[in-house]
Structure 1
Amino acid sequence: MLARLQYLSVRQWSLAGLAFCILMMLVALGLEHLAGLEPCPLCIFQRVAVLAAAAVFIVAAFHNPAGRLGPVIYGGFSLTAVLAGIVVAGRHLWLQSLPPDEVPSCGPGLDYMMDILPMRDVVAMVLSGSGECAEIDFLLLGISLPGWTLIGFLVLALAPLGILYRSVRGLWP
Structure 2
Amino acid sequence: MSDRLLEVRPFNLMAAAVCVVLLSYAYYSQFVLGLEPCPLCIFQRIAMIALLLVFLVAAALGGGPLRSRIMAGLLGATAVSGAGISAWHIRQQHLPGDEWAACGADLGYMIEVFSFWETLQMAFTGTGDCAEVDWAFLGLSMPAWVGIFFLLLGSAGVWANWRAARPPF
User: TM-score if structure 1 supplies the norm length?
Assistant: 0.87
Tell whether the 8 Å contact from 1:72 to 1:163 is kept in structure 2 after alignment.
Answer: no
Specify whether residues 32 and 18 from structure 1 end up closer, same or farther in structure 2 by C-alpha distance, changes over 3 A only: same
Specify whether residues 172 and 163 from structure 1 end up closer, same or farther in structure 2 by C-alpha distance, changes over 3 A only: farther
* Structure 1 position 171, deviation (Å): 3.5
2:31 corresponds, among 9, 30, 33, to 33
Which runs of structure 2 are paired with 1:20-169 in the superposition (5 Å)? Answer: 20-66=18-64, 68-167=65-164
Letter in 2 for 1:127: F
* Structure 1 position 11, deviation (Å): 1.0
* Structure 1 position 62, deviation (Å): 1.3
* Structure 1 position 88, deviation (Å): 0.5
> Which range is displaced more, 139-148 or 9-18?
9-18
1:12 lines up with 2:40 in the alignment? no
Specify whether residues 158 and 16 from structure 1 end up closer, same or farther in structure 2 by C-alpha distance, changes over 3 A only: farther
CA distance in 2, matches of 1:8, 1:157: 20
User: TM-score if structure 2 supplies the norm length?
Assistant: 0.89
Q: Describe the superposition over 1:90-119 as per-residue Cα deviations: whole angstroms up to 9, x where unpaired.
A: 000000000111111012221111112222
Runs of 4+ residues deviating >6 angstroms: none
Tell whether the 8 Å contact from 2:55 to 2:75 is kept in structure 1 after alignment.
Answer: yes
CA distance in 2, matches of 1:7, 1:162: 13
* Structure 1 position 150, deviation (Å): 1.2
Identity of aligned residues (%): 36
CA distance in 2, matches of 1:147, 1:27: 15
CA distance in 1, matches of 2:30, 2:109: 20
2:167 corresponds, among 140, 151, 171, to 171
* Structure 1 position 147, deviation (Å): 1.1
RMSD: 2.0
Aligned residues: 166
Task: Mark the runs of 5 or more structure 2 residues left unpaired by the alignment.
Answer: none
* Structure 1 position 43, deviation (Å): 0.5
Task: Mark the runs of 5 or more structure 1 residues left unpaired by the alignment.
Answer: 1-5
Specify whether residues 156 and 127 from structure 1 end up closer, same or farther in structure 2 by C-alpha distance, changes over 3 A only: same
